[in-house]
Amino acid sequence: MKVFKFGGASVKDAQGVKNVAEIVKQHLAEQPLLVISAMGKTTNALEEVLQAFFKRENNTQELLEKVREYHYSIAETLFPRENPVWDELENLFAELYWAIEETQIKSYDYEYDQIVSVGELLSTRIVAAYFELAGIPVQWLDARDLIRTDDTFREGNIDWEITQKQIHERVGKAKSSNPNVVVITQGFIGATSENFSTTLGREGSDYSAAIFSYCLDASEMVIWKDVPGVLNADPKVFSDATLIEELSYYDAIELAYYGATVIHPKTIKPLQNKSIPLRVKSFVNPQLPGTRISTNDHRNAIPTYIQKNNQVLISISPRDFSFIIEENFKDIFKHISDVRLKVNLMQNSALKFSVCVNDETERLQAFLVEMQKRYIIKYNHNCTLLTVRNYSETLIERLTQHREILVETRSRNTVQMVLRQPNH
């Protein structure tokens, strides 16, 4: 069997849902299990609902109403009024409305997972109901009965033993009466032992698909995307991006780590552990071969450039002009780890430690408040981290033209630069 992952862009409208059904029909012989993300930009929209709820703003309902309208308009195009999917959608929205009425608010990360996880439940209900209509044998499974995590909300750590057992049992049961049934489940979400919903980190559906591939010993995992495969640069930013046909697991991890949004960084390890090949293919042109990522010692020599926006460059200096020494590092890293900031680059000099992190307001604020007690802190929002692998001087020059470089680090293969984001 294979595991297919369909991201938000593939199911962003009714046409997208129909296209997914078409693709799956062509691949029924491979017995795919489908892992699907929330539709379009639903996760962002639910994050906005959550933020409004947290700040107790009075447009919370209105924001949620927009999410409802978006899903209902897709469902209206696909289903007649008597389709049972309407009840399922009603129930999910009832839960969301109920959640934002709640007066006793727990932690941000906890509330995040209870609210934002519903995006995936909605999308998979709609896709499964459409498969049913289109005559594809389908079984919808709740990923919260399959993927067990600890209670690190927003970044659940997988309990592999229980997850493996649950996946075997539930998927096995779904397939026991009809081995050709297409199982549809959610990416991104899981649950704790106490049945609270958890999420695996933004863009975590790829990782979910890798977990399913690992637990079910899939022969291949396929990520269906709106690009033809893994490119050497983001085609939305660089017009000359070209397809990389073959990648090793090693290079794929590096690309993902430096911020290539094409694959979630945690995806490769479970696949690599069982030598399961990963294909990245286009849902727009499904006949194209895409990129194949597998056990090979193919070293990618193509220059690859990755741009990560919304970075904050923080510089930390001791108040008393003492050198940045190990004790200070220990202190700084402890707090980075405590608030779970994501570090993308660091550099130190005698009196200064610079660190480039993702701009995540709550975590960043907590970190800065703590650091300001003991250090002189400066920071720049709106930075871009540009990583160039297999670089040449001419390429660097072309990519950084007229832009101020705030920090730069170099190794033999890789250059990383923090630049000011254009227009800031």
The C-alpha atoms of residue 60 and residue 64 are separated, in whole angstroms, by 6
Q: Which does 32 bind (CB under 5 to 8 A by kind): ligand ASP, Mg ion, none?
A: none
Task: Name the residue type at position 424.
Answer: H
For ligand ASP, the binding residue among 113, 203, 251, 254 (CB under 6 A) is 203
The C-alpha atoms of residue 29 and residue 308 are separated, in whole angstroms, by 39
Residue 202 within binding range of ligand ASP, rule CB under 6 A: yes
Residue 16 within binding range of Mg ion, rule CB under 5 A: no
For ligand ASP, the binding residue among 16, 187, 270, 290 (CB under 6 A) is 187
Minimum Å distance from CB 205 to ligand ASP?
Answer: 3
For residues 88, 91, 92, 97, the Cα torsion angle rounded to the nearest 10 degrees is: 160
For Mg ion, the binding residue among 2, 5, 6, 8 (CB under 5 A) is 8
The C-alpha atoms of residue 385 and residue 314 are separated, in whole angstroms, by 13
Residue 335 within binding range of ligand ASP, rule CB under 6 A: no
Q: Which does 202 bind (CB under 5 to 8 A by kind): Mg ion, ligand ASP, none?
A: ligand ASP
Residue 165 within binding range of ligand ASP, rule CB under 6 A: no
Residue number with the smallest Cβ distance to ligand ASP: 205
For Mg ion, the binding residue among 37, 213, 248, 315 (CB under 5 A) is 37
Going by C-alpha positions, the residue among 257, 308, 256, 306 that lies closest to residue 278 is 256
Residue 113 within binding range of ligand ASP, rule CB under 6 A: no
Minimum Å distance from CB 248 to Mg ion?
Answer: 24
* H-run or E-run covering 348: strand 343-348
Residue 188 within binding range of ligand ASP, rule CB under 6 A: yes
For ligand ASP, the binding residue among 7, 32, 190, 228 (CB under 6 A) is 7
Stretch near ligand ASP under the rule CB under 6 A, chosen from 24-32, 35-43, 76-84, 324-332: 35-43
Parallel, antiparallel, or unpaired: how do β-strands 32-36 and 246-248 relate? unpaired
Residue 205 within binding range of ligand ASP, rule CB under 6 A: yes
* H-run or E-run covering 301: none
Question: Other CB atoms closer than 10 Å to residue 4's CB: what's the count?
Answer: 28
Residue 37 within binding range of ligand ASP, rule CB under 6 A: yes
Q: Where are the beta strands (DSSP E) in 187-255?
A: 189-191, 197-199, 220-225, 246-248
Residue 290 within binding range of ligand ASP, rule CB under 6 A: no
**Cβ(343)–Cβ(336) under 8 Å?**
yes
Comparison of 8 and 228: residue with beta carbon closer to Mg ion = 8
**125-163 CB burial, b ≥16 within 10 A, e <16:** bbbbbbbbebebebbbbbbbebbbbeeebbbbebbeeeb
Residue 119 within binding range of Mg ion, rule CB under 5 A: no
Interaction site with ligand ASP (CB under 6 A): 7-8, 37-38, 43, 119, 187-188, 202-205
